[in-house]
């Protein structure tokens, strides 16, 4: 948001006409997509000059706020359950998948990303952190994956649940949990922001071993900026944006890239 407005200022000086037709959008975004979305905006010549307000919270909180009439235009949820439910309540329209999450196991000593974790058991002497399956699709995926393991019962006993996949990551990062089943995007973000190589020591969980982690977006029915909202969504679904999301740890939406 700060960045967006800084860019606005710079542009306004050069091009006054553009400012008068500036797009105003309030975008509700699930916390774990805040960083990727602001990266996309920052790197876009057009959208970085528009007046965009990003409101970040957990998907559940944003859902509750929208259902009570919060003045958002677009809602990027971390799951598909909440957008579906908003649509069913006629509170949202044009529901679309904008990205799919990737489950990883971290840390795995001496290993680095883009290799698959194919062991049929997870050896633990401490705790295994996952997101709470009640709250986050990453938690559902992690739990489903655990049940495919040969030592599922033992591993389940060592589980600790974060309120979000980011909190599960923090449990591991602070050394309180030994390993975690986390989002690749969280680790990539950690690596970019904290500049430490330990965040690369993860392995991807084979995608066929867990249910799809589908993240959906919709336009809030009460929005007065539906056309701009749709063009912003189109921007996120565009091939360059989807390729960028791929580098940030997401599986691009099929069709958007091809």
Partner 1 sequence: MTVLADSWPAIWLTLKLAAMTVVILLIISLPFAWWLAKYQGRFKPLFEALIALPLVLPPTVLGFYLLTAFSPNTALGSLWINVVGEQFVFSFKGILFGSIVYSLPFVMQPLLTGFSQLAKQTSMTISTLGISRLNGFLFVILPIIRPSIISAITLGFAHTLGEFGLILMIGGNIPNETQVVSIALFNQVESLQYQQAHALSLCLLVFSLLSLTLLYKFNRQARMFAVGH
Token pair, residue 215, equals 């993240």
Q: Which is nearer to partner 1, 135 or 142 (CB)?
A: 135
Q: Is the dihedral of CA 252, 136, 122, 185 positive or negative?
A: positive
Asked if residues 132 and 257 have their Cβ atoms less than 8 Å apart, the reply is no
User: What is the closest distance, in whole angstroms, from the C-beta atom of residue 161 to partner 1 in the complex?
Assistant: 4
CB atoms inside a 10 Å sphere around CB 125: 7
Q: Which is nearer to partner 1, 1 or 160 (CB)?
A: 160
Binding site for partner 1 (CB under 8 A): 58, 60-61, 63-64, 82, 85, 126-127, 129, 132, 134-135, 160-163, 170-171, 174-177
User: What is the closest distance, in whole angstroms, from the C-beta atom of residue 216 to partner 1 in the complex?
Assistant: 15
User: What is the closest distance, in whole angstroms, from the C-beta atom of residue 218 to partner 1 in the complex?
Assistant: 16
User: What is the closest distance, in whole angstroms, from the C-beta atom of residue 20 to partner 1 in the complex?
Assistant: 41
Q: Which is nearer to partner 1, 180 or 249 (CB)?
A: 180
Asked if residues 84 and 139 have their Cβ atoms less than 8 Å apart, the reply is no
Q: Which is nearer to partner 1, 26 or 132 (CB)?
A: 132
Q: Is the dihedral of CA 107, 119, 135, 98 positive or negative?
A: positive
Paired sense of beta strands 24-30 and 92-101, if any: unpaired
CB atoms inside a 10 Å sphere around CB 101: 27
Q: Which is nearer to partner 1, 50 or 132 (CB)?
A: 132
User: What is the closest distance, in whole angstroms, from the C-beta atom of residue 192 to partner 1 in the complex?
Assistant: 22
Asked if residues 59 and 75 have their Cβ atoms less than 8 Å apart, the reply is no
Q: Which of 188, 218, 163, 172 is nearest to 31 (CA)?
A: 163
């Amino acid at each position: 948001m700060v960045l967006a407005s800084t860019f606005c200022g710079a542009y306004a000086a050069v091009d006054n006409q553009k400012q008068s037709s500036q797009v105003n959008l309030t975008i509700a975004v699930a916390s774990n997509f805040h960083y990727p979305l602001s990266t996309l905006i920052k790197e876009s010549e057009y959208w970085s000059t528009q007046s965009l307000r990003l409101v970040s919270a957990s998907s559940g909180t944003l859902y509750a706020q929208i259902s009570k009439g919060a003045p958002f235009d677009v809602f990027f949820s971390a799951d598909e359950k909440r957008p579906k439910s908003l649509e069913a309540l006629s509170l949202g329209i044009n529901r679309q998948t904008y990205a799919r999450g990737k489950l990883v196991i971290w840390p795995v000593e001496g290993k680095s990303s883009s290799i698959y974790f194919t062991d049929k058991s997870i050896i633990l002497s401490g705790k295994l952190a996952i997101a709470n399956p009640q709250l986050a699709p990453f938690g559902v995926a992690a739990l489903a994956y655990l049940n495919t393991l040969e030592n599922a019962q033992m591993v389940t006993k060592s589980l600790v649940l974060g309120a979000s996949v980011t909190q599960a990551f923090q449990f591991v990062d602070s050394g309180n949990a030994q390993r975690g089943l986390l989002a690749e995007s969280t680790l990539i973000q950690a690596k970019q922001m904290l500049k430490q190589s330990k965040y690369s020591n993860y392995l991807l969980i084979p995608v066929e071993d867990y249910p799809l982690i589908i993240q959906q977006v919709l336009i809030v029915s009460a929005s007065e900026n539906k056309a701009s909202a749709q063009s912003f969504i189109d921007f996120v679904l565009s091939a360059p944006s989807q390729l960028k999301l791929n580098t940030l740890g997401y599986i691009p939406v099929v069709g958007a890239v091809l």
